[in-house]
Chain A
């Protein structure tokens, strides 16, 4: 009885595989054709009169500098006009961090299945190269983070560079070196404080802006490091969240724990 059942299910499975492959190929060809057909009717590349280049973009480009005080128009846009969008992004990252923590923390599995040869890095060449590279990476990350309103960069890119520096450090000198100053408790405190600060600061700025009240934070002189109103502190907050999250992802996937 069970043997007959098994034979039946395997036959069904073979038929299912064949139908699935045929349908997949048809679907792929259909989607590629439809999308390419749509692209062929889009306005020409680089055209100024397309529907995407409307008055919103014009306003950002022409008034962005005087209203936000940031020479980097994109930073002024994502951290001033559309700051709640960026707050949502930070919360998406924070939610992913929490989910990974719930799913992976404390699982002995990651620890068990790690090959032994990757466990320690007792290598002098690597360590002495990292003595040179890690400070430079960290310094570059801080530079990108603090100059987000003046030059290309900002919280997300600077935070990602800082996180990469932390991962390099943890790889070369062992994770005890990093967890000496970045304990799991501190990671949580930094992330939560940054998100709360972002919420409060931007709520204040939106409240005063919407009600026509005088805000104590002005745009400042464009081009200075201390300008752009709230953009610099918000960049720092976002950068802290991103750096902590990147390093925690690495820790969780590498040894299944933040410690």
Chain B
């Protein structure tokens, strides 16, 4: 069985990529940046006391599942979502949906996806992929971070869907039931931008949104005195990986969001959004600059206080510029 004419397209990020591919398949063509922006995917958080594989948790994006859910709500697309108590039920439900001709989105752990190179297979449980058919006992997989489609054994897929840890996917799957006759993209874009501004600027806690960039900058300043050179290197390396390794489109989703603002400016015929896009691209370059010097510091491991101070300053530049940008964007008269 196979869903007819499913077209795989490579994207930068798994969740916005799956969202774009599913909607496009169902006759609502949408780019990845548009899905990412409407789903308010951009975010920042640094939570020093939550350790992920021994390093403080840092993220450049919103929580898993939010992008697909928000895009569906904002475009009034009817979706089906389901979690399962065991792999047998999960695979059976997947087979039924595929029989019905529906490509199915799923949450999975990259550690249990044999088609990915080993280098990327850590215990990251919030990876999104699509199954679009089953042939000769293998599922046909469209993984948006890959150039081409792949296949997976049902047993491996079950392991990936029932990985333990944080978060636990519990076999979570989702598919589209119905697309509305007409879609108000402008309204959805506006809601997405408003939400991103809100999440960047409003959290009263220091670990979330724009404030957290300053917090991370402050923490980095303390690395040479508070951590062993080895730990400091690992912490820096983790920030770089979250920002640049697979799935962000570069500069921790800043380029992806700038691409969204550009597309939105064309759709809504608004020059101000184009201006914000250009600005965010430059801020993205600042983030890349930070990562470049962070990598140098990481490799050198000298624990040189001056360099850590400089890194901290580079990060503060990103935070300050972004704060100003989002504050102005929040005041847009729609």
Partners in one complex: no
B contacts, CB < 8 Å to A = none
A contacts, CB < 8 Å to B = none
